Structure 1
Amino acid sequence: MFRLSELIKSTLEDIPSRGHSGSIMIWNFTNRCNLFCHHCYSKADPNNMDLLSFDEIRKTIPQLIESGIRFVIFSGGEPLIRSDIYDIAQEMKKHKIMTYLSTNGMYINEKNVEKIITTFNYIGISIDGKEEVHDYFRGQKGSYKKAIKAIKLIQKNGGNAGVRFTLTKETKDDFYSIFELVENLNVNKFYISHLVYSGRGEDNLKIDLTKEERRECVEYIIDKAFDYYNSKKGIDLVTGNMEMDSILLLKRFEKNYPRKVDDLMRRLKLWGGNNSGIRIGNMDWKGDVKPDPFFPKVIGNYLKQPFENIWSNTDDEIVNKLREIPRKISGKCENCKYISICNGGSRSRAYVIHNDLWAEDPSCYLTNEEIKA
């Protein structure tokens, strides 16, 4: 995740960045879902069965702490499908783990909203454009209205809800207007995710943007981040799965705030770019552990061996290569002067397109001229 707004504020005001003291684990507790989203990396389906028991989850939680995991994003499928999801979150809280909920919002109602707010530190709800586009992209008519209602319900009851948006060809026409929605809803956070080729996202490569389209969108996101900062709107912009966005922010500082460039560069290197297998990981409903939710390779199974043994395994070649800083990536990354900032971008996209985990990210929109060392 690239916390764009946070970096702008901390750099311009010369204050410490609000970092996470610990790693983030995205845990898919179920592969059941009431929607059929076009980009779903887990190919979730309403007819799938829950394989994870509460006991198996509960026994694994202390191992997360031992491995430096301090934040867990509850994901799926749709995590609220599980009737024991609140019990799982309470077990996390006993171990001082922050709990974030990633949901489509369709199961949030007057009866459970207070429980959701008191259980989860943050609730991210997916909105992928105007009503017609969102309903088509998410595979169910009426899903947009229910998501908007859920956001307003959380806000009405004093909770913290944010909007999550996936940038694809199918949603691009609504990309600009979605900012108006975010402003009107007055949410605290707006997370824009770039498409990663995994699950149904891999089946739908045709819905990805061109490099030119992507760059145009990122430039606009940066424009809005500065606008929100200057107008003190309090909307936190975050992008995901495209660490090259940080380079465009750096270029903006070179143009408008040259005296702050060195400080921003320092902060970006501390952030470290793509953190798959370093400060972010994924645990799925089958017990498989991966460096991120989209990663094409499994590095272990927490139902068969202790999680801490998997996460700290120094004999795993993939994990060792991921944790090299900067990573040794071929192609345009090999001589890129920004490799220590973005860390090579998505290994999942590289694998799908090049059949090579250590090839350049095919979605990188930076030109060869820009990146010359």
Structure 2
Amino acid sequence: MFRLSNLIKTTLEDQKSRTLNGSIMIWNFTNRCNLFCHHCYSKADANEKDTLTFEEIEQTIKRLKNGGVNFVIFSGGEPLLRKDIFDIAQCMKDNGIMTYLSTNGLYISPKNVDKIIETFNYIGISIDGIEEVHDQFRGQKGAYKKSIEAIKLVQKHGGNAGIRFTITKETQDSFYAMFDLCEELNVNKLYISHLVYSGRGEDNLEIDISKEERREYVNFIIDKAFEYYESGSNIDLVTGNMEMDAVMLLNRFKEKYPQKVELLESKLKSWGGNSAGNRLGNMDWAGNVKPDPFFPFTVGNYLQTPFDEIWTSKKNDILNQLRQSPRNIKGKCAQCKYLEICNGGSRSRAYAISGDLWEEDPSCYLTNEEIRN
């Protein structure tokens, strides 16, 4: 997760950047979902049944803190399909863990909206384009209107609902419209995710955009982040799954604020780029623990081995290699002067294309001329 807006603000105002104190876990509590999204990494389905019991979840929550986890994103499938979702969240709070909700918004209603706002520190609602695009991409007509209604309902009741958007060939024509939508709705966060090849995202590898298109969009995101900062807008721009965006921001600072380049570079190195298996992890509905939601291998199963023993293990070769800083990455990464910043990008994409976890990220849009020492 790359917090562009926060880095711009804290660098220009000589403030401390927001940092994660501990790890953040994306926990898929269910594989049930009322939608059929083309990019879904968990291949969620409406006909699935919940396999995790509350008791299993409760016992695992007690182990999270020992494993250094302070934040949990509730995900799925659609997490609001679980009838015990609020009990799970309360158990998290009782154990000192912050809770975020990632939802399609279709189950947010006047009956539960206050409880959702009270329960979760942040609510992210997925919008993948203008109405026709979103409904097509999400596999259900009318989904867009319901999700927008959910955002407005949360705002009406005093809560904060941000928008999550994934860039693909199917959604890219709506890319610029997402910024207009955020400004129109006055949401204060837009999270823009780059595609990772896993789940249905792997099956639909052909829906990814080109490197040239990606650069164009990232440049626009950075332009907007500066625009929002300079105009005093409260819209927070964040990108995901493309740590090379940090290099683009650094190069922009060289042009706009050369006197602040060293400070930004220091912040970016402290951030450290891709954090899968270190400050980021994933837990699924079957008990599997992975370095990120898209990762091709598990590092343990919390229903068989206590979570903290898995996550703090010094004997797992994959975790040990992921936690090297910078990582030992092949290809053009081996000669890249920015490796300390991006940390080699997505290992999941590298494996999906090359079959080698430690090859270069195939979606890296930086040129050989840019990365050479």
Q: Smaller-chain TM-score range? A: over 0.9
1:245 alignment counterpart: 245
1:359 alignment counterpart: 359
Amino acid at match of 1:157: H
Measure how far apart 1:147 and its partner are: 0.2
CA-to-aligned-CA distance 1:69-107 (integer Å, 9 cap, x gap): 000000000000000000000000001110000000000
CA-to-aligned-CA distance 1:289-346 (integer Å, 9 cap, x gap): 0000000000000000110110011111111000000000000000100000000000
1:271 alignment counterpart: 271
Mapped to 2, the partners of 1:224 and 1:206 lie a distance apart of 28
Q: TM-score, normalised by structure 2?
A: 1.00
1:165 alignment counterpart: 165
Amino acid at match of 2:270: L
CA-to-aligned-CA distance 1:204-244 (integer Å, 9 cap, x gap): 01100000000100000000000000011100000000000
Measure how far apart 1:177 and its partner are: 1.1
Mapped to 1, the partners of 2:6 and 2:349 lie a distance apart of 27
Residue 20 of structure 2 contacts residue 279 of structure 2 at CA under 8 Å; is this kept in 1? no
Mapped to 1, the partners of 2:299 and 2:15 lie a distance apart of 38
Measure how far apart 1:62 and its partner are: 1.4
1:7 alignment counterpart: 7
Residue 170 of structure 1 aligns to a residue in which SS?
coil
1:187 alignment counterpart: 187
CA-to-aligned-CA distance 1:51-77 (integer Å, 9 cap, x gap): 100000000111100111000000000
Mapped to 1, the partners of 2:106 and 2:49 lie a distance apart of 20
1:341 alignment counterpart: 341
Q: In the TM superposition, what are the counterparts of 1:23-38 in structure 2 within 5 Å?
A: 23-38=23-38
2:53 alignment counterpart: 53
1:147 alignment counterpart: 147
Residue 171 of structure 2 aligns to a residue in which SS?
helix
Amino acid at match of 1:141: K
Residue 50 of structure 1 aligns to a residue in which SS?
coil
2:231 alignment counterpart: 231
Which stretch shifts more, 345-354 or 13-22?
13-22
Mapped to 2, the partners of 1:18 and 1:328 lie a distance apart of 27
Residue 344 of structure 1 aligns to a residue in which SS?
coil
Residue 278 of structure 1 aligns to a residue in which SS?
coil
1:200 alignment counterpart: 200
Aligned CA-pair RMSD: 0.5
Amino acid at match of 1:137: F
Residue 169 of structure 1 aligns to a residue in which SS?
coil
Measure how far apart 1:123 and its partner are: 0.3
Measure how far apart 1:113 and its partner are: 0.5
Unaligned runs of 5+ in 2: none
Amino acid at match of 1:22: G
Residue 152 of structure 1 aligns to a residue in which SS?
helix
Amino acid at match of 1:308: D
2:116 alignment counterpart: 116
1:315 alignment counterpart: 315
Mapped to 2, the partners of 1:89 and 1:96 lie a distance apart of 11
Q: TM-score, normalised by structure 1?
A: 1.00
CA-to-aligned-CA distance 1:231-271 (integer Å, 9 cap, x gap): 11100000000000000000000111111000000000110
Residue 27 of structure 1 aligns to a residue in which SS?
strand
2:176 alignment counterpart: 176
Residue 174 of structure 1 aligns to a residue in which SS?
helix
The answer to whether 1:283 aligns with 2:245 is no
Mapped to 2, the partners of 1:288 and 1:178 lie a distance apart of 34
Residue 286 of structure 2 aligns to a residue in which SS?
coil
Measure how far apart 1:19 and its partner are: 1.5
Measure how far apart 1:178 and its partner are: 1.0
Amino acid at match of 2:175: F
Amino acid at match of 1:139: G
Amino acid at match of 1:242: M
Mapped to 2, the partners of 1:246 and 1:93 lie a distance apart of 33
Residue 77 of structure 2 aligns to a residue in which SS?
coil
CA-to-aligned-CA distance 1:9-52 (integer Å, 9 cap, x gap): 00000011122212100000000000000000000000011110
Mapped to 1, the partners of 2:73 and 2:9 lie a distance apart of 25
Mapped to 2, the partners of 1:213 and 1:199 lie a distance apart of 23
Mapped to 2, the partners of 1:213 and 1:135 lie a distance apart of 23
Residue 99 of structure 2 contacts residue 122 of structure 2 at CA under 8 Å; is this kept in 1? yes
The answer to whether 1:295 aligns with 2:295 is yes
Mapped to 2, the partners of 1:68 and 1:299 lie a distance apart of 16
Residue 102 of structure 1 aligns to a residue in which SS?
strand
Mapped to 2, the partners of 1:111 and 1:316 lie a distance apart of 46
Amino acid at match of 1:24: I
Amino acid at match of 2:92: M
Unaligned runs of 5+ in 1: none
Mapped to 1, the partners of 2:236 and 2:22 lie a distance apart of 21
2:211 alignment counterpart: 211
Which stretch shifts more, 58-67 or 31-40?
58-67
Measure how far apart 1:280 and its partner are: 0.4
1:19 alignment counterpart: 19
CA-to-aligned-CA distance 1:102-136 (integer Å, 9 cap, x gap): 00000001111001110111100000110000000
1:97 alignment counterpart: 97
Residue 173 of structure 1 aligns to a residue in which SS?
helix
